[in-house]
Structure 1
Amino acid sequence: MKVILVKDVEGWGTLGDIIDVKPGFARNYLIPKGFAYPATEGYVKHVQDILNQKARKLEKQKQEAEKIAQQIDGLELDIPRPVGPTGKMYGSVSSADIVEAIKEKTGLEIDKKKIMLRNPIRDLGAYNITIRLHPEVSAKIKINIIPEEQ
């Protein structure tokens, strides 16, 4: 029996794939769970429409990410932090601190999950940070962690 997948099914395929499965598997599992429809002309056209909408949405998101990347690529930020008498920084600089600094300087709101920072920064100095705005679009910024003036 031929069915068209409307969701990704591990080991079988992804959205829009037309696969050939045993009739019992299709009737008892795939179709009742909403993973697939019978591969009739109407359902194939319906799934193609869904794929086209998804592609347009992804393209729009990519264009928006490219606009933001143009605005912040090469941006240099100074983030002041309190330091002790030995010159050691109190606390650390996290993704949320970087997002706040970008918002103060440019007015753009960026999700902190998009900042590629493995561990919080715990030392003074200059750091190059990558911001992945979209799977295909990223920007690089430079942050300077400086001592806070008393």
Structure 2
Amino acid sequence: MAKLILTHEVTGLGTPGDVVEVKDGYARNYLVPRGLATAWTKGAEKQVAAIRKARKAREISTLEDAAAVREALQARTFTITAKAGASGRLFGAVTTSDIAEAVSAGGGPSIDRRKVEIGQPIKAVGDYQVQVRLHADVSAQIDVRVVPEA
């Protein structure tokens, strides 16, 4: 078992700053090469404190605030304009950062692109539902409409 410090949120494992123990292969082949975690050392405790402080400043602090943001997000449909062919197929795909920018541009709250989860890749024009994790216990299903560029 390898002891690691998460530097990014990993669904099902933890949030940035958490110290976790995972199997050696998972650490060596997935978490560390992708920059999602670093090896745990005694000197890394300062790094953990800095990561936690930065996360606390960014995240929604209370459950009530998260519920209010969820209601605001779910009440609207956010539109993303993308280059598409005649059949409605996109040149590329809609990314999590595209969705985060669309929410901010559409008058919604500023959300972190790493909190956006896309179930299936969005590669065609149409309406989609995307999940946004606002808090440990609160997530929102937002409606995203992808339209072709004129």
TM-score, reference length from structure 2: 0.54
Cα distance in 2 for residues equivalent to 1:108 and 1:89 = 27
Q: Give how far 1:65 is off.
A: 1.7
Partner of 1:19: none
Structure 1 or 2: more strand by fraction = 2
Counterparts of 1:1-150 in structure 2, within 5 Å, are 60-149=61-150
The DSSP-based 3-state class of the residue aligned with 1:79 is strand
Partner of 1:37: none
Which 5+ residue runs of structure 1 have no aligned equivalent?
Answer: 1-6, 11-32, 34-57
Query: Percentage identity across aligned positions?
Result: 31
The DSSP-based 3-state class of the residue aligned with 2:98 is helix
Partner of 2:31: none
The DSSP-based 3-state class of the residue aligned with 1:92 is strand
Number of aligned pairs?
Answer: 97
Q: Cα RMSD between the aligned structures? A: 2.8
Cα distance in 2 for residues equivalent to 1:67 and 1:87 = 35
Cα distance in 2 for residues equivalent to 1:110 and 1:67 = 14
Which 5+ residue runs of structure 2 have no aligned equivalent?
Answer: 1-17, 22-41, 43-58
- Classify 1:8/1:77 alpha carbon distance in 2 versus 1 (closer, same or farther; 3 Å): closer
Tell me which stretches of 4 or more aligned residues in structure 1 moved more than 2 Å. Answer: 7-10, 58-64, 84-88
Matched to 1:83, the amino acid is A
Matched to 1:146, the amino acid is V
Cα distance in 1 for residues equivalent to 2:19 and 2:130 = 34
Cα distance in 2 for residues equivalent to 1:100 and 1:142 = 14
TM-score, reference length from structure 1: 0.54
Matched to 1:61, the amino acid is T
Larger radius of gyration between Structure 1 and Structure 2: 1
